[in-house]
Amino acid sequence: DNFEIVKWPLKGWRNLDPNTGDEGGTVEGNFEVNWKGDFYYGKNLAIVTDNNTYLDGLGTKDWKRANEKARIEQGSENIYLWMSDYHPDGGQLFFPKDAKIPFFVCLGQSKYGDDIKPEHMRGFYIPAGKGVYIHPGTWHNGIYVERNHTPATFFTRQGRVHA
pLDDT at residue 23 in the model: 65
Mean pLDDT for 81-85 is 85
pTM, to two decimals:
0.84
pLDDT at residue 35 in the model: 93
Asked if 130 contacts 27 with a C-beta cutoff of 8 angstroms, the reply is no
CB atoms within 10 A of CB 65: 10
If you ran DSSP here, which 8-state letter would residue 76 be given?
T
Q: Is the pLDDT of residue 9 over 90?
A: no
Banded pLDDT at 72 (limits 50, 70, 90): low
Q: Chain-wide mean pLDDT for the chain? A: 85
pLDDT by residue (tens digit) across 114-134? 889 999 999 999 999 999 999
Mean pLDDT for 133-142 is 91
Q: What 3-state DSSP class applies to 136?
A: coil
Q: Is the pLDDT of residue 24 over 80?
A: no
Q: Is the pLDDT of residue 71 over 60?
A: no
Taking the C-alpha atoms of residue 103 and residue 56, their distance in angstroms, rounded to an integer, is 14
Mean pLDDT for 101-116 is 92
What angle (nearest 5°) sits at the alpha carbon of residue 129, between those of residues 126 and 132? 45
pLDDT by residue (tens digit) across 141-160? 889 999 999 999 999 998 87
Of 5-19, 25-39, 81-95, the range with the lowest mean pLDDT is: 5-19
